[in-house]
Chain A
Amino acid sequence: MNETVNFLVYLAMGLNLLALGSSRLPTIIWAMAVQGVALGIMPMFIEPDFNWHLGLIVVATVAGKGVVIPSLLRRAMRAANIDREMEPFISFVPSLLLGAGGTVAAFAAVRFLPLLPEHAHTLFLPGALASVLTGFVLLIGRVKAISQVCGYLILENGIYLFGLLLIRAMPLLVEAGILLDLTVAVFVIGIIVDRIQRAFDSLDTRKLTALHE
């Protein structure tokens, strides 16, 4: 059981690096979607007794992170007629190095944090930290709105991974609220992307500079 979970976390970390190193938007969206599915099915391997509450979380997460959001993003990408990140603020090799360094640092940082005995040999925490860092690098370093949204989602994936540590203790309401909010957030961002595209004829956030001071 533990090996499967650890494998999924390693997979998520690898996908982080793929998202950081790629200039093609479909690749980033794909990496994010696969990461979402990998995290979404994880509760099945953590909890020995499977119940409907857990099933609901798994289905909602996989559908949201793996299907609905990626297809929304692909639609936005087609509407804007772009599929490449041309001139990011932080280019691909430095972002990869930042991501790799961040992952190593995440493993190092975990030694200083006290964990419950049952979490001590899992990779949730380094995985979560690595994803949060990756999300930040994408949010700051990319200029295309879609890449920034992907960065935001990878950041959210990291937070979800951390939330798995608390899955037994947190009441249903909190979990449901988190999923709902995530979906709505991206939905709204999707609308905005669409509007920006109509207003600026591009998805380049560098053109959003009228308000500079």
Chain B
Amino acid sequence: MKELLLIFVPMAGAALAAVWPSNRTRPWLLPVVGFAHVVLTFWLMVDPPTVAANAWFGFDPIARAVLPAVSLLFLVCAMYSVPYLRLRSERPNRVFVSTLLLVLGLLSAGHQARHLGLLWIATEAVTLATVPLLHFNNTPRAFEATWKYLLVGGTGIALSLLGSLCLGYASLHGGGSGDLTFTALIAQGAGLSRPWVLIAWVLLLVGYGTKMGLAPMHTWKPDAYGEAPSIVGAIMAGGVTTVAFTAILRVRSVISAAGEGAAASRTLLAIGLFSMLVSALMLLGTRDFKRMLAYSSIEHMGILSIGAALGTAGVWAALFHVWSNGLTKGALFLSAGNIRRAAGARTVDEVSGMAVLTPRSAAIFVVGMFAITALPPFSPFFSEIRVVRAAFETRHGAAAGMFLAFLLFTFFGMTRLVFAVVDGRPRTATKTVGRHFPETAGVIFPPLLLMGISLWLGLWTPAVLRDSWTAAVAQLFSIK
């Protein structure tokens, strides 16, 4: 029952927001619903329900391992959104608030979908629901970004549907009854028709990989994250991509059951390393600090994909990394949003000396940058070192070497950009804008909280989280 509330409470909130009369008080619905959602997910995480094997929906170990991270990130972003939308009081926020809540409901549905078709419907719906969020700023650049997102994302989603149909045909050809729940597909295992399974894997990886933002299907990401409000960027980078990643993990468990696990791992490893390479190169070149976050997100999607390729220990590390990346990246997005608003610009050619104008946001931005580039004691360090260890354990020494080299390049790229923004003397043009942006507690506390959680996860990873990741790995690899 509670698992269905995770979907319906945000949907009811969205409906309420759509009819709520006041533009000023409407944003408060976001933290209220977000809080209810966090309470429900953490309750479910501590006290997991039993899921029937053939259920289409359910809070199974995979949902339990990642959905609370998305929920927590959403709550913090919702807290930030109240002062943010007050600053943007000139724009009507009815559509924004209700679609943001709708996205939360659909993300909950997507994480809990145990049926191939249902999973696809949820992902498609999330794609469409994020469209109004992306063009909230209503600028020509935002339209351009939204158009690219729709075209690239839409094609990706179409290919994942084709992949789902191919997997369905693999089951049918192998004598299946047409039951598309993951449990039934895994049970059919080696009975699935091999050529169709391989075609399905390629299409589903490309399709859901597009939603995740793996290179070379990443082209929508810098534009979308660069033009969207920072809360939207944070939720997309930590929530929408996560649903695509869990989709890939679920599909992969079917492919492994069909006996093509080795091929699946090879493609995941290759595409992950390629994503890291592309993002490292782009990070060395870009001059825009919001696009920087998009490239960093591509890098971390690459890390997730590499983790997923490295057996049980690797998947465990990847699930850990979903948490550490989502929450740390959230802090970066929110503090970058503050800096962007205070400076009125977003490239290093126009912005510098933000340590003087917005000292608190700049401090969080710098610390967040160190955290996301895997400096201890923040959680990305611990999850990434587990990925490296899993690589050595599974005799992927060369991959581990490349992984570390790309991390180093990423570090160079990001420090270059972040210190150019933070250091130096403020530009005269930004000084005048800066006065209108006081660093109130409302815009400082949320990113600070996320950094705190990131630190806590790294140093004192709670046992219940470790258990949930272990349980998810057991489900994915069918370990009894």
Contact = CB atoms under 8 A, between A and B. Distances in A.
A108 B222 CA distance: 39
Interface string A158-190: 010011011011110110011001001100110
Contact of A155 (B125, B158, B171): B158
B154 interface: yes
B367 interface: no
B124 A181 contact: yes
Contacts of A165: 165, 169, 172
Interface string B136-171: 000011011111101100110010011001101101
A178 to B, nearest CB: 7
Given A155-B155, A211-B141, A166 B165 contact: yes
A152 B151 contact: yes
Given A181-B125, A213-B286, A163 B145 contact: no
Given A169-B177, A170-B117, A188 B140 contact: no
Contacts of B150: 188-189, 192
A159 B165 CA distance: 8
Nearest to A163: B165
A171 B117 contact: yes
Contacts, number: 112
B147 A192 contact: yes
B252 to A, nearest CB: 21
Interface stretch (A15-23, A77-85, A113-121): A113-121
B309 interface: no
Interface string A94-131: 00000000000000000011111000000000000000
A181 B157 CA distance: 11
A159 B162 contact: yes
Contact of A210 (B140, B146, B168, B173): B140
B167 to A, nearest CB: 10
Contacts of A173: 117-118
Given A192-B147, A200-B140, A211-B144, A181 B158 contact: no
A190 to B, nearest CB: 11
B178 interface: yes
A113 B196 contact: yes
A132 B173 contact: no
A60 to B, nearest CB: 16
A139 B196 contact: no
B128 A184 contact: yes
Given A162-B162, A205-B147, A211-B145, A199 B169 contact: no
A210 B169 contact: no
Contacts of B117: 170-171, 173-174, 177
Contacts of B285: 213
A210 B177 CA distance: 51
A116 B117 CA distance: 22
A35 interface: no
B299 interface: no
A117 B124 CA distance: 33
Dominant SS among interface residues on chain B: helix
Contacts of A211: 141, 144-145, 148, 222-223, 226-227
Contacts of B286: 213
Contacts of B312: none
Given A169-B172, A174-B180, A184-B128, A152 B143 contact: no
Contacts of B188: none
Contacts of B168: 166, 169-170
Interface string B199-214: 1000000000000000
A80 to B, nearest CB: 14
B330 to A, nearest CB: 24
B146 A192 contact: yes
A163 B163 CA distance: 11
B135 interface: yes
Nearest to B168: A166
B143 A195 contact: yes
A134 interface: no
B193 interface: yes
B165 A210 contact: no
A25 to B, nearest CB: 17
Contacts of A196: 143, 147
B121 interface: yes
A148 interface: yes
A5 interface: no
Contacts of A188: 128, 131, 150
A176 B321 CA distance: 36
A170 B125 contact: no
**By CB atoms of chain B within 10 A, which of A168, A169, A174, A195 has the most?**
A174
Contacts of B199: 113
Contact of B169 (A152, A155, A166, A174): A166
A27 to B, nearest CB: 22
B195 interface: yes
A115 B155 contact: no
A133 B222 CA distance: 27
B226 A139 contact: no
Contact of A166 (B135, B147, B154, B178): B178
Nearest to A191: B131
A95 B137 CA distance: 37
A199 B158 contact: no
A132 B199 CA distance: 14
A116 to B, nearest CB: 6
A199 B143 contact: yes
A145 interface: yes
A184 B128 CA distance: 8
Given A155-B158, A196-B147, A170 B180 contact: yes
A116 B158 contact: no
A208 interface: yes
Given A114-B173, A139-B151, A208-B148, 18 more contacts: A113-B195, A139-B155, A163-B165, A169-B171, A170-B117, A173-B117, A174-B117, A184-B128, A185-B124, A185-B128, A188-B131, A188-B150, A189-B150, A192-B143, A196-B143, A199-B140, A205-B147, A213-B282
Nearest 6 Cβ contacts at the A-B interface: A169-B178, A174-B117, A177-B121, A208-B144, A199-B140, A181-B124
8 contacts: A114-B195, A170-B117, A171-B178, A188-B128, A192-B143, A192-B150, A208-B144, A213-B286
